């Protein structure tokens, strides 16, 4: 049923559906010509929806180690609210950018700055030094609303993929919202200018724009999720449709007539759908393609159900005082819960938090959220001295907030750089590294500080400069790098495979200079030398090109890795795909030298060494938990001729244990890669072993 009332100001009849709460007299008087409402209606169920979404995010993170889909609800609600504000502003005449951005940043930045500064201070004392520079970069990215792109870039960085979860990882969603807040008013204003010029109906024109954005972004989201889900998850463009759908619901919500019974059902379906989404779907690995419609449509059902006026409606639950208050502090709750969770895990040195630990984290997050809301958000929001109605007022607020965060982060960056600057000493008797494991080798000095510094560990992978490399003319994804003797080398050795092959360059390059060899490196992170990579087409293409290049070069030998899964709880194996590549090389008369892989661990031994001391027995791991008693390649039938094996396990492990430090040098840069500083001390050993093989072929 629809009711019409004469608007005294416009002289036109305003129609509304009684299935929703009717407009108040103040709302009726606040209409633009044509009956366009220019005042928002308060929707208490929306605050409850926001609270529920935030609570699900927190609970799923803390106890279930899963993603709930609640963030997608944030995007939808943001699109609903901001589009409504911009629509009403356009109906009144024009969008005031200073006031619009000012209100948004006045609400967001104080709480964000508080949490970021607190995270920097806590991180300085609690975070391992090896993660300082990465975290400082993410603090800056979060403050400037591009953390999502920072994380997307890290998905393409092989070593960043091995990093532990970032303290600021949850800021990816706030970065997308911040970008939306900046771009959306400009887009709507530009479109309104066109609509006025051509005389289009505002609601219909805006509905058309949002429909195009919704369809285009959703299609792109589905495509990119299938092609590169990890990048798609953090991309802003794959999320536009969620904001656009919120705007579409805003434009339709007062035009849709739904009877009360159906609205009761819709409301509860929305709540149940939202709660169950993270349990039914693997959100972290499936979103944001079409499956992200699940939480977004659930939120839409709740808003379309509206106020049912009955105790049986979901709105009665969502409009309750506790949920409405939780909705008020939800922004700060979202900001606090993640760093608290990670700091708890770090301090307790465990991967799960348990029931009591999780309850403590959530309780602490709620307390900090309430304090931030009452002591920071509300005072700043109500402060008349902070006038954000003009662009200049907004600029001053943004500048002040950023100055505090960037100054704090900058101080931490200076400390990080000072600790990270490190050049390994040559032939340092106080840090002999692998040499102490040689028969009659030197003794490590008892009072020497371990090297490299913990802050320098992220840079402890041996790499080539761009001047030392060229791209293959057969496929540009293959980089071919050179070191050692260029003219008439005594041996040419190709090092091919993933990072575990390439880390040996730190030992092979000094050996090459000593022995007159040339090292030709072809590496790709996460891509071993194999002819079996069914789930990684780029790796398969890389392998094909690398084999073509090797057969064309005809080196004296190919150095690669012989095994994988030297990992607690897994069976160390020599994959069939490795052997197939060796057979191809053997048939071409090219010897293969395959080294047994180094151990891999569930945690970083370096972090343990930093926290407890490198000689603490709890930081070492039993050798028999990572290495099989018999190397797996010894049990492979029909091994091709011309394949030779090296086992450096006695230099990665000391006796029956694999320690974090040998000869006063940290062995591991993370949970599975050897530091180049330690690997350089293996150069004489590697040279001796390779020479023995090469001299015999």
Count of other CB atoms within 10 angstroms of residue 383: 13
Taking the C-alpha atoms of residue 260 and residue 305, their distance in angstroms, rounded to an integer, is 8
Taking the C-alpha atoms of residue 231 and residue 261, their distance in angstroms, rounded to an integer, is 42
Are the CB atoms for 597 and 500 separated by under 8 Å? Answer: yes
Give the pLDDT score at 164.
66
Going by their DSSP bridges, the two strands 517-523 and 491-497 should be labelled as parallel
Taking the C-alpha atoms of residue 563 and residue 571, their distance in angstroms, rounded to an integer, is 10
Helix axes 132-143, 147-155, angle to 10 degrees: 140
Give the pLDDT score at 60.
92
Torsion angles phi and psi, residue 39, rounded to 5:
-130, 135
CA distances from 27 to 37, 38, 665 (A): 7, 8, 72
Angle at 226 between CA 220 and CA 232, to 5 degrees: 60
Give the pLDDT score at 565.
83
Tens-place pLDDT, residues 281-321: 888 888 899 999 999 999 999 999 998 889 999 999 999 99
Indicate the burial class of 497 (C-beta count within 10 angstroms; 0-12, 13-18, 19 or more).
buried
Q: Which of 601, 613, 611 is nearest to 657 (CA)?
A: 601
Q: Which of 171, 128, 123 is nearest to 151 (CA)?
A: 171
3-state secondary structure 24-46: CHHHHHCEECCCEECCCCCCHHH
Structure tokens at 649: 């396990």
Give the pLDDT score at 33.
41
Indicate the burial class of 565 (C-beta count within 10 angstroms; 0-12, 13-18, 19 or more).
middle
Q: Name the average pLDDT for the chain.
A: 87
Tens-place pLDDT, residues 452-470: 999 999 889 888 888 899 9
Query: Over the Cα atoms of the chain, what is R_g?
Result: 31
Taking the C-alpha atoms of residue 321 and residue 299, their distance in angstroms, rounded to an integer, is 20
DSSP H or E stretch at residue 86: helix 70-92
Give the pLDDT score at 390.
61
Residue with tokens 């840069």: 669
CA distances from 23 to 82, 86, 145, 283 (A): 20, 19, 37, 38
Taking the C-alpha atoms of residue 684 and residue 695, their distance in angstroms, rounded to an integer, is 16
Spell out the residues 6+ positions from residue 272 whose beta carbon is closer than 8 angstroms to its own.
298
Q: Which residue ranges in the chain fall short of pLDDT 70?
A: 1-41, 156-164, 385-394
Q: Which of 538, 537, 585 is nearest to 560 (CA)?
A: 585
Taking the C-alpha atoms of residue 242 and residue 620, their distance in angstroms, rounded to an integer, is 48
Give the pLDDT score at 330.
95
User: The pTM is what?
Assistant: 0.83
User: Could you give the count of Cα atoms lying within 13 Å of 79 in the half-sphere of its Cβ?
Assistant: 27
Count of other CB atoms within 10 angstroms of residue 284: 16
Indicate the SS3 state at residue 162: coil
Q: Which of 79, 103, 143 is nearest to 407 (CA)?
A: 143
Taking the C-alpha atoms of residue 158 and residue 148, their distance in angstroms, rounded to an integer, is 17
Give the pLDDT score at 519.
93
Structure tokens at 421: 């600057």
Indicate the SS3 state at residue 89: helix
Q: Which of 310, 305, 156 is nearest to 235 (CA)?
A: 156
Give the pLDDT score at 644.
95
Give the pLDDT score at 6.
37
Give the pLDDT score at 1.
36
Structure tokens at 686: 């590697």
CA distances from 447 to 386, 420, 444, 450, 664 (A): 57, 21, 9, 9, 9
- Domains within the chain, CATH numbers bracketed: 1-33 (no CATH), 40-415 (no CATH), 461-694 (3.40.50)
Count of other CB atoms within 10 angstroms of residue 105: 20
């Amino acid at each position: 049923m629809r009711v019409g009332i004469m608007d005294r100001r416009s002289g036109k009849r305003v129609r509304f559906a009684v299935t929703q709460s009717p407009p108040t007299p103040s709302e009726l008087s606040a209409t633009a010509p044509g009956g366009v409402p220019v005042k928002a209606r308060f929707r208490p169920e929306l605050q409850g929806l926001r609270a529920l979404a935030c609570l699900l995010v927190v609970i799923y993170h803390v106890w279930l180690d899963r993603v709930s889909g609640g963030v997608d609800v944030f995007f939808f609600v943001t699109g609903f609210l901001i589009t409504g504000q911009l629509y009403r502003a356009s109906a009144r005449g024009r969008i005031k950018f200073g006031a619009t951005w000012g209100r948004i940043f006045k609400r967001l930045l104080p709480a964000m700055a508080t949490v970021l500064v607190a995270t920097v201070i806590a991180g300085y004392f609690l975070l391992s030094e090896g993660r300082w520079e990465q975290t400082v970069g993410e603090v800056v990215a979060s403050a400037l609303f591009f953390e999502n792109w920072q994380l997307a870039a890290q998905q393409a960085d092989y070593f960043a993929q091995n990093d532990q979860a970032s303290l600021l990882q949850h800021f990816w969603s706030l970065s997308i919202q911040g970008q939306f807040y900046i771009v959306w008013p400009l887009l709507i204003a530009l479109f309104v200018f066109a609509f006025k010029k051509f005389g289009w109906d505002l609601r219909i024109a805006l509905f058309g724009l949002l429909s195009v954005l919704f369809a285009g972004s959703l299609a792109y989201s589905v495509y990119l999720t299938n092609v590169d889900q990890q990048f798609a998850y953090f991309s802003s463009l794959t999320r536009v449709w969620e904001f656009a759908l919120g705007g579409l619901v805003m434009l339709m919500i007062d035009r849709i007539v739904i009877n009360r019974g159906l609205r009761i059902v819709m409301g509860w379906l929305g709540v149940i759908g939202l709660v169950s989404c993270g349990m039914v779907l693997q959100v972290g690995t499936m979103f944001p393609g079409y499956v992200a419609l699940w939480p977004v449509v659930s939120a839409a059902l709740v808003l379309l159900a509206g106020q049912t006026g009955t105790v049986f409606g979901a709105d009665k639950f969502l409009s309750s005082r506790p949920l409405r208050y939780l909705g008020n502090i939800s922004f700060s709750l979202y900001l606090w819960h993640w760093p608290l969770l990670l700091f708890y895990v770090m301090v307790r040195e465990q991967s799960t938090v348990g029931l009591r630990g999780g309850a403590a984290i959530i309780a602490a997050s709620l307390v900090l959220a309430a304090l931030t809301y009452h002591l920071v958000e509300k005072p700043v929001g109500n402060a008349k001295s902070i006038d954000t109605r003009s662009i200049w007022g907004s600029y001053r607020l943004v500048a002040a907030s950023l100055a505090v965060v960037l100054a704090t982060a900058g101080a931490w960056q200076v400390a990080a750089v000072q600790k990270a600057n490190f050049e390994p000493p040559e032939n340092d008797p106080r840090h002999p590294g692998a040499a102490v494991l040689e028969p009659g080798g030197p003794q490590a000095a008892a009072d020497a500080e371990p090297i490299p510094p913990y802050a320098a560990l992220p840079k402890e992978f041996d790499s080539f400069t761009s001047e030392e490399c060229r791209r293959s003319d057969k496929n540009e994804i293959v980089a071919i790098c050179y070191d050692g003797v260029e003219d008439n080398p005594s041996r040419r050795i190709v090092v091919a495979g993933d990072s575990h092959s390439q880390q040996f360059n730190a030992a092979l390059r000094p050996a090459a200079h000593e022995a007159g060899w040339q090292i030709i490196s072809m590496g790709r992170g996460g891509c071993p030398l194999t002819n079996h990579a069914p789930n990684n087409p780029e790796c398969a293409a890389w392998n094909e090109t690398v084999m073509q290049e090797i057969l064309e070069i005809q080196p004296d030998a190919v150095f690669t890795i012989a095994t994988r899964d030297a990992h607690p709880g897994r069976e160390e194996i020599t994959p069939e795909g490795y052997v197939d590549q060796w057979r191809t090389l053997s048939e071409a008369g090219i010897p293969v030298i395959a080294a047994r892989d180094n151990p891999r661990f569930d945690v970083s031994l370096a972090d343990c060494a930093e926290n407890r001391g490198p000689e603490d027995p709890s930081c070492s791991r039993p050798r028999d938990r990572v290495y099989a008693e018999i190397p797996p390649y010894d049990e492979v039938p029909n091994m091709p001729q011309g394949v030779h094996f090296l086992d450096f396990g006695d230099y990665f492990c000391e006796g029956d244990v694999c320690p974090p430090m040998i000869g006063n040098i940290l062995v591991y840069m993370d949970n599975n890669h050897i530091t180049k500083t330690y690997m350089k001390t293996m150069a004489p050993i590697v040279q001796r072993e390779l020479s023995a093989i090469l001299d015999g072929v």
